[in-house]
Amino acid sequence: MTIVIEAFEQAARITADALAAAKPMVRGGVRLLEIAERLERLICERGARPAFPVNICVGSIAAHYSPLPDDPRTLPDRGLVKIDVGAHVDGYPADAAITVDISGDYGWLIDEAETYLEALIANLRPGVAIKRLIKQTYEEAKPLRSRLIVNLCGHQLQRFKLHSGKSIPVVPPRFHREVIREGEVFAVEVFTTTTRGAGEAVAEALVTIYSHTGRIPGGQLGEISRQLLARFNMLPFSPRWLDPSEVGLLSQLHKKRVLTAYPVLREGRNEPVAQAEHTVVIERGGARVLTRF
C-alpha cells in the first residue's frame, strides 16, 4: 500500500513540475508540438513516463487534442489554453491540468473552475456517497458567471488505468451508487464555459489520442496489437510515439476494436472553455492533493 501511494506521489510530483514548466511556455505563436514534446521529455528525464500524451486545448476545444506528428499549429494571441499533463511511475498515473489566459480576457472562467474544483476536493472524504458529494458541492459553490460542462467528469486512477472505476461528475447525477473509499486516487476535474455556452462537450471527427482495449485479433494485426499493448499497456498514446508504418494502421486497428479512439471534444456552442484538475488521494481526514505546485 505504501509503495503504491509512493508511486502515485512521485508521478504526481513530476506532473506538477511539468505543469509549472509549461506555464511560461504558453505564448502566442509557440508551436503546440514544441510544448508537448518538451513536457513529455521532462517527464522521461525525471524517470517517469507520460501516462497519456500532453493535451493542449485552445479556446473552445475542451479536451483530447494532442499535437499530431509534424503538427504545424501554433498558439493564438488571445484566449484560453488548457495544458493537461500526466506522468506514470510503474503504471501508477497522475493527471492534472492548468489553464492559461493568454490575453487576460477570461480569467473569471479559470477562477470559477478552480473555485468549484477546490469545493469538490474539500467535500471529498471516505464514506461519502458520490451523489451526495456532488449535490452538496453544487449547493455550496455553483458557478454564478459561468456554466459547468456537464459531460466531462473526474475519474478514478488505478495502475495502468486512467479512466476506469468510479467517476466524479460535476453536477448532481440522477443515478450514482458509488461511495468514496479511503486509499482511492482520483483525477478530479472541472470545466467551465460562458453562460452562452451549451455546457456540454461534443465530439469532433478528429482523433489525436488512442488507447488499447486489450483485444488481440488474429492474422497480421495480431502482432502489432501485441506490440502496442506491451509498449503502452492500456494507457492512452499519441501517433507521435509510433513509427509511420504503425500510424497507417491506426484506423484499421480501431475498426477491429483493438483501439479506443478519443475524439477531440469541443464546447457545444463553440464558447471558450477553462479547466482545473488535480490528482488527489483519499485519506481518513479527507482528500490530499498530490499535484499542488
Q: Which is nearer to Co ion, 12 or 97 (CB)?
A: 97
Closest CA to 155 of 213, 112, 96: 96
Touching Co ion, residues 259-278 (CB under 5 A): 277
Stretch that binds Co ion, among 68-76, 91-99, 162-170, 225-233 (CB under 5 A): 91-99
Minimum distance from residue 277 beta carbon to Co ion (Å): 5
Minimum distance from residue 52 beta carbon to Co ion (Å): 8
Interacting residue with Co ion among 9, 40, 84, 271 (CB under 5 A): 84
Query: Could you confirm whether 70 is annotated as catalytic?
Result: no
Catalytic residue among 155, 176, 212, 278: 155
What's the grid cell of residue 267? Answer: 464546447
Catalytic residue among 64, 88, 163, 176: 163
Three-state DSSP class for residue 206? strand
Residue type, 275: Q
Q: How many alpha carbons fall within 13 Å on the CB side of residue 103?
A: 12
User: What Rg value do the Cα atoms of the chain yield, rounded?
Assistant: 18
Catalytic residue among 84, 114, 184, 271: 84
Query: Could you confirm whether 243 is annotated as catalytic?
Result: no
Assess contact for 51 and 95: CB atoms under 8 A: yes
Interacting residue with Co ion among 95, 101, 184, 267 (CB under 5 A): 95
Closest CA to 85 of 123, 40, 130: 40
Minimum distance from residue 93 beta carbon to Co ion (Å): 10
Minimum distance from residue 207 beta carbon to Co ion (Å): 17
Q: Which residues of 259-290 are buried (b: 16+ CB within 10 A; e: fewer)?
A: bebbbbbbbbeebbbbbbbbbbbbeeeebbbb
Q: Which is nearer to Co ion, 17 or 84 (CB)?
A: 84
Binding of Co ion by 163 (CB under 5 A) = no
Could you give the CA distance from residue 195 to residue 147 in angstroms, rounded to a whole number? Answer: 5
Q: Bridge partners of 262?
A: 209
Residue positions annotated with a catalytic role = 84, 95, 155, 163, 189, 277
Which residues of this chain interact with Co ion, rule CB under 5 A? 84, 95, 97, 277
